[in-house]
């Protein structure tokens, strides 16, 4: 069972950066510690948000944060905190990169203005493993991408896994590109009024 932290109770200062994991896709994992409670990952339950767009082919899911100022502010603060961490640590994480760089140039943001950009699984085997609640029941087949339409209000549970870095092809040198790695854990479609 995955423990989720609602955005209303999420405290940005409790997010902890782990140590860079050196693989073909290097990543700095995130954890969450609040007093005596420690989560080895950061899993968040977003508020009910309207779908701005959903690409059924690529899985890009864009939700509007316009009506949820508190969530927008908190998520933007997390993104800025992660950008700052990269700026402060990239020389230690990637010592082969000698030249100074503007780390904002290669960043693919999750929060863009009043939108959150997520990637929803669109391949059958992955869609089936993600809980999907619609019309008052859990759909046993998982995500039903044909039922996700612009304007529909949904709650999304996501795990923000960490900061993921892209290496240059056939190299262990960082390309300068990176993003916030996340995974959708579940989708709950709000019932129509």
Place 98 in a pLDDT band, splitting at 50, 70 and 90.
low
What's the pLDDT tens digit per position in 164-176? Answer: 999 988 887 888 8
Q: Rounded to an integer, what distance in angstroms lies between the CA atom of residue 19 and that of residue 104?
A: 21
Q: How far is CA 110 from CA 40, 85, 180, in A?
A: 21, 16, 7
Question: Lowest mean pLDDT: which of 11-20, 145-154, 165-174?
Answer: 165-174
DSSP 21: B
Percent of the chain with pLDDT over 70: 97
Q: How far is CA 31 from CA 5, 14, 89, 135, 163, in A?
A: 12, 8, 17, 34, 12
Percent of the chain with pLDDT over 90: 67
- 8 Å CB contact between 25 and 166: yes
- 8 Å CB contact between 139 and 133: yes
What phi and psi values does residue 86 have, to the nearest 5 degrees?
A: -65, -45
Q: How far is CA 88 from CA 93, 152, 159, 175, in A?
A: 10, 40, 24, 17
Q: Rounded to an integer, what distance in angstroms lies between the CA atom of residue 193 and that of residue 191?
A: 6
Segment 89-111 mean pLDDT: 86
Residue 183 in this model has a pLDDT that exceeds 90: yes
pTM of the model: 0.91
Q: Rounded to an integer, what distance in angstroms lies between the CA atom of residue 141 and that of residue 124?
A: 9
What is the predicted pLDDT for the residue at 168? 87
């Amino acid at each position: 069972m995955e423990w989720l932290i609602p955005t209303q109770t999420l405290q940005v200062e409790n997010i902890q950066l782990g140590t860079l994991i050196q693989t073909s896709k290097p990543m700095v994992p995130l954890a969450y510690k609040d007093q005596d409670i420690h989560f080895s990952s950061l899993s968040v339950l977003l508020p009910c948000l309207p779908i701005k767009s959903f690409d059924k082919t690529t899985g890009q899911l864009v939700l509007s944060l316009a009506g949820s100022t508190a969530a927008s502010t908190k998520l933007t603060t997390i993104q800025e905190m992660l950008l700052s961490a990269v700026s402060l640590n990239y020389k230690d994480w990637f010592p082969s990169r000698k030249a100074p760089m503007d780390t904002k140039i290669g960043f693919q943001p999750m929060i863009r203005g009043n939108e959150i950009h997520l990637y929803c699984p669109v391949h059958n085997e992955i869609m089936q493993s993600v809980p999907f609640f619609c019309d008052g029941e859990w759909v046993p087949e998982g995500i039903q991408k044909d039922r996700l339409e612009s304007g529909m209000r949904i709650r999304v549970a996501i795990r923000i896994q960490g900061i993921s870095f892209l290496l240059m092809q056939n190299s262990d040198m960082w390309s300068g590109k990176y993003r916030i790695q996340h995974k959708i854990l579940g989708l709950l479609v709000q019932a129509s009024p």
